[in-house]
Amino acid sequence: MDRFDAMRLFTRIVELGNFSRAADDLKLPAATATHAIRQLEARLGVQLLHRTTRKVTPTSDGQAYYQRCLRILADVDETEAGFGHGGATPKGKLRIDLSTLGRVFVLPRLSEFFARYPDIELEVGLGDRRVDLVGEGVDCVLRVGELPDSTMVGRRVATLPQVTCASAAYLAAHGMPATLKDLRGHLAVNWYSASSGKMLPFEFDVDGVPRSVTLAGKVSVSEGEAYVACCLGGMGLAQLPRYRVEALLADGTLREVLPQWRPPSLPVTVLYPYQRQLSPRVRVFADWVAEVMAGAPRVPPIH
């Protein structure tokens, strides 16, 4: 195994915290991975990894070497990408995690990504849960909404218009609110953060001034499909990305509420660890997602 391959193996072990998983990821026998790291430590004359039965973690020397490896490997990938016939393209496996937004806009167009970058292999996870990118070995995630402060690097790729809406049946029973004050007598399908447990208020843009309104409700959720389902079931008002409910608004199943004071648009962000900001694979994927989202038409929701 040459030095660059040993560096790639070492960085993946640090990121995944496991020899076997890193070896599987790089399609190596576990014994080969173990031998290669022993040779690397012997050549450097330092211990790079703490090994226990449950976890592999870098030593202080290992952490410093890991940071240097990331920069060196990124430089190598960047250099190789600029040479060869027509310029080499990024290659290797990219682990991504997409929100439900990705299922609607990104997955149907993956063939376009592979036509442009045939040497990249994608491993895709779907969901809105909070992902430990470094601990789980995920290279980047696509997320909707404001992001908490973190050590991650975020690139905003789009914004999504939102709409306040309710089922026609609910409004027939409770009336259509005409002002923010009218909301006091209404129920909401409330959204809470799965990571913090915090209930989020309804937000309105009133002549350029943000207004928050907290509504009572009998149900609260933290998952997008459940949010839409409860709104359709007449449980109260909801604030949703318009793309999720476009067809339901068009056929009258749902009706928009207070269209003169719409919720602020939601940011869409590609998020990745700062260690990955120089990775050509991450960069081209983020660029491509930004292109996809910029030209995305309105689409019906997935049931």
Please give the domain boundaries of the chain with CATH numbers for all domains.
3-81 (1.10.10.10), 92-160+267-294 (3.40.190.10), 162-264 (3.40.190.10)
CA distances from 272 to 140, 150, 179, 268 (A): 4, 11, 41, 13
Q: Which residues contact 191 (CB under 8 A, 6 or more apart)?
A: 199, 200, 220, 221, 222, 227, 239
pLDDT of residue 104: 86
pLDDT of residue 264: 93
Encoded tokens for 127: 């969901």
Confidence class for position 300, pLDDT limits 50, 70, 90: very low
pLDDT of residue 186: 96
pLDDT tens-digit map of 50-73: 988 778 999 999 989 988 898 888
78 pLDDT exceeds 70? no
- How far is residue 44's CA from residue 6's CA, in Å, rounded to a whole number? 12
Rounded to the nearest integer, the mean pLDDT of the chain is 86
Q: Torsion angle of alpha carbons 201, 204, 206, 212, nearest 10°?
A: 0
Residues 84-103 have a mean pLDDT of: 74
Confidence class for position 255, pLDDT limits 50, 70, 90: very high
Residues 23-39 have a mean pLDDT of: 91
Confidence class for position 303, pLDDT limits 50, 70, 90: very low
Percent of the chain topping pLDDT 70: 86
Which is more confidently placed, 137 or 13? 13
pLDDT tens-digit map of 222-240: 888 899 999 999 999 999 9
Place of tokens 């995305």: 296
195 pLDDT exceeds 90? no
pLDDT of residue 197: 78
pTM of the model: 0.68
109 pLDDT exceeds 60? yes
Burial of residue 249 (number of CB atoms within 10 Å: 0-12, 13-18, 19+): middle
114 pLDDT exceeds 70? yes
Residues 288-302 have a mean pLDDT of: 67
- How far is residue 233's CA from residue 250's CA, in Å, rounded to a whole number? 17
pLDDT of residue 126: 81
Which is more confidently placed, 297 or 204? 204
302 pLDDT exceeds 50? no
- How far is residue 219's CA from residue 153's CA, in Å, rounded to a whole number? 34
pLDDT of residue 85: 46
* Least reliable range by pLDDT among 119-133, 164-178, 250-264: 119-133
Buried b (16+ CB within 10 A) or exposed e, 254-281: bbebbeebbbeebbbbbbbbebbbebbb
